Structure 1
């Protein structure tokens, strides 16, 4: 899926007006639909294989099945448009391949500290769009499974091939991605891979760089990334926390 260089900001949504159950008669979200997903540009995006052909949610015919299989449950408005499970976002339209839930796969690769007596490292990539350090993941392609997407994304963005390993799923969660809107959003399957030591990793595809960072806790990771002159991709912070909780035996 193409990475947009800029995602328009939505209107401000006060915390007390975020729930869909709260009336807001004058709510005017910003349409963040890029040209490639409008009626004119959509056919080319569909042909490229990353976007569904529905111009609006009304053109989607399998909502019952999508709702039943959703990783994070969601509901619909009076017009049968899907509603973001976290509430109002201040954005409408879609800046993602599908209406409703869009599935991502995020492989969290950790090296070292297998016996809790050494250093622990996590493999990150520098995103080409936001220039922030993030998990080397991405969207699950149409017809692809999350396990296959985990292996593919890791290989494409770092050159590391872990096809022979079985990871531990640490989260299936909503991701606060800037491309989310009221009617299209991302839910990620985050999986933890363990290695005895770091391996060579080289940035590729959408990744400018790939590098290993200390991963004893979130503060240490944040500081190490800052020392390198960068910052962490905010949407991935809950996924890092889920991995650390698992590693430290907190859950």
Structure 2
């Protein structure tokens, strides 16, 4: 690759890491912050693949080619396979991170796939009482959950929409396997627990995750809005489930306001809502598909659509944050692999944030450095 004059200034090699190459004037180097970000988040192979593709294509504009390669697909990035998003195996879904859940059967990496023979696999069946109390076939409750009788739902479940394969919209019957009674199986594999757990729907439960970032007004560090969950006490993106009949774009905004905008003063709240209206009028979809989540079971799982909203200074410097009823606390969190809180974010949320920032940088929406505001 070093002999190709139009290659980007910095490439990746397993032994040498980043190294400079000759290139025409006007090409932008991957700066130190961006290089460190790529290395810290394990994106070397991904960037190398983009460069290799540009070389093979002998693209007239290699940087544009690489940016297009790195940008998420219309399916939301689910087909890209980086950082724990497009999964080969799930980890959180086999964990005991949620304190409400009973003990799962231990499932080794080798036995996750349904194609792995496990004749005596007998995971416990558990659905939380709050799910059963809110079944849509009851006269009481809020009706956000499916009835427990799966055979009666067989045809409905077969035609449910899923984004578990590369972020593309498919019917469950086209991409998932089913139990003999019609219960859909988790598309990634076994979790060690049957039933629905805390999830209302058999099969995919659709969520919306707003990733709101800014550069810190004083330090210039890249930060993201994070809330502390009340169930696991972990820090997370302020997202939630999409209500029946609700569009994802509406759900993303609603969830952010509910979890990070619990402001009582009327004037301050009106100011907050005006800033949110402006911020959420833009945004980029960065992922759509299955996410690794400790609430998942063999028969219920979470698929999310994540949008990235980067605050301009006039919003990022002034946006007030107040935790809502579903959140213990809310804060601006540094996007830093040296921060234990960021390292241990809930579920797949760190991977979603990494996806958002990497996508914005690769498309030129965030100028280098990638985790700090560019010096003026």
TM-score range, shorter chain: 0.7 to 0.9
> 1:131 aligns to what?
233
Q: 1:8 to 1:101 in 2, by over 3 A?
A: same
2:148 pairs with 1:55? yes
CA shift for structure 1 position 87? 0.5
CA shift for structure 1 position 248? 3.0
> 1:64 aligns to what?
158
Equivalences for 1:78-117 in 2 at 5 Å? Answer: 78-79=179-180, 80-95=182-197, 96-112=199-215
> 2:176 aligns to what?
75
Equivalences for 1:95-244 in 2 at 5 Å? Answer: 95=197, 96-112=199-215, 118-159=220-261, 161=273, 162-164=276-278, 165-196=281-312, 197-198=316-317, 199-215=319-335, 217=336, 219-220=337-338, 222-223=339-340, 225=341, 231-244=344-357
Q: 1:194 to 1:17 in 2, by over 3 A?
A: same
CA shift for structure 1 position 179? 1.4
Instruction: Report the TM-score, using the length of structure 1 for normalisation.
Output: 0.83
Q: Compare CA radii of gyration and give the structure with the larger one.
A: 2
Alpha-carbon distance between aligned partners in 2 of 1:46 and 1:24, rounded to the nearest angstrom: 40
Alpha-carbon distance between aligned partners in 2 of 1:27 and 1:91, rounded to the nearest angstrom: 10
Alignment deviations for residues 138-193 of structure 1 (CA, whole Å, 9 cap, x no partner): 11111111111100000000016423422211111312222111111001111100
CA shift for structure 1 position 83? 1.1
Q: In angstroms, what is the RMSD of aligned CA positions?
A: 2.7
Runs of 5+ consecutive residues of structure 1 not aligned to the other structure: none
Contact 1:104 1:188 in 2 (8 A): yes
Alignment deviations for residues 56-98 of structure 1 (CA, whole Å, 9 cap, x no partner): 43222313321xx311144123513211011111110012111
> 1:24 aligns to what?
118
Which structure shows the bigger proportion of residues in strand conformation? 1
The count of residues paired between Structure 1 and Structure 2 equals: 235
Runs of 5+ consecutive residues of structure 2 not aligned to the other structure: 1-97, 166-174, 262-271, 365-376
Instruction: Report the TM-score, using the length of structure 2 for normalisation.
Output: 0.57
Q: Look up the SS of the partner of 2:348 in the other structure.
A: helix
Q: Look up the SS of the partner of 1:48 in the other structure.
A: coil
Alpha-carbon distance between aligned partners in 1 of 2:99 and 2:139, rounded to the nearest angstrom: 17
Contact 2:157 2:202 in 1 (8 A): no
